[in-house]
Amino acid sequence: MSEEKKDVESNDEKSSDFDIDPNPKQEWQTREKVMAEKVAERFELDAPVVFRGQYEFTVEASRIVQILRELKEDEEFAFNRLTDVTAVDYLKLEGYEERFAVLYFIYSYEHKTHLRLRVWVDEDDPRLPTVSGVFGAANWGEREVYDMFGLEFIGHPNLERILLPTNFGSFPLRKDYPLRGRGERDDFPRLRRGEKEDL
C-alpha cells in the first residue's frame, strides 16, 4: 500500500473519532419541541404556535415578568439571553385578539433552544410591565418599541424616545401612520454632504 493511501486512511480513522450528528436539524427540532413541552407544562400555557420549528407561547401581560424570570433563573430552562423585543401592529387584520402584540425572543446557551413569547396589548390602554429588571437588554428594545409604536412599559427606568426627536408627535411603525408622515419632518434641518449641524 502506498504511503499516500495510508495517510488518507489514517485521516479517515481520525475523523470518525469525532461525535458528528448525521442530522443536526432533526436534533435541533427535537430539543426545541422538548423544551416547549416543559415550558407549557410548568406555566400551564395553551398550545404554542409553531412556525419553521420555532415555538411561540401567548402570555398574559400580568405574568410576563414572572415567567421570563423563571425561564432565566431556573436551570431546567436557563434562557439566559434576551435576543430581541419588538412589536407588531395588526390593524385591519382579522383573527387577532388585539391590535398590538409585543414579542420577546429568548435563547438558552446551555440547552441550545429558542423560544418566543407573545403578549397582546390593549389598543385603548397600550401599557404592559417592563422586563428590563429581568433582562438588561430589554432596556433599549422597549424604548424602541415605545418610540416606534407608542406602547408604554410600566416601571421602565428611562422610557424616552431612542431614535426620534423627543418632540416627534407620532409613532411611525403604527399601520395608520402615513408613508409620507404628518409633516413632522418638514422642520428637520436639511444638511448637504460634508456639512455639519450646529448643536
Residue ranges per domain, the chain?
A: 24-183
Backbone dihedral angles phi then psi of residue 100, each to the nearest 5 degrees: -115, 150
Top-tier CATH class for 24-183? alpha beta
92 contacts 37 by C-beta, under 8 angstroms: no
3-class DSSP assignment, residue 28: helix
Torsion sign (Cα): 103, 108, 114, 115: negative
Question: pTM score, two decimals?
Answer: 0.80
Residue 192 confidence (pLDDT) = 77
Residue 83 CA to residue 75 CA, distance in Å, equals 19
Residue 23 confidence (pLDDT) = 63
Residue 193 confidence (pLDDT) = 80
- Regions of the chain where pLDDT drops below 50: 8-18, 20
Of 38, 65, 36, the closest CA to residue 51 belongs to: 36
DSSP string covering 113-136: EEEEEEEEE-SSS-EEE--TTT-T
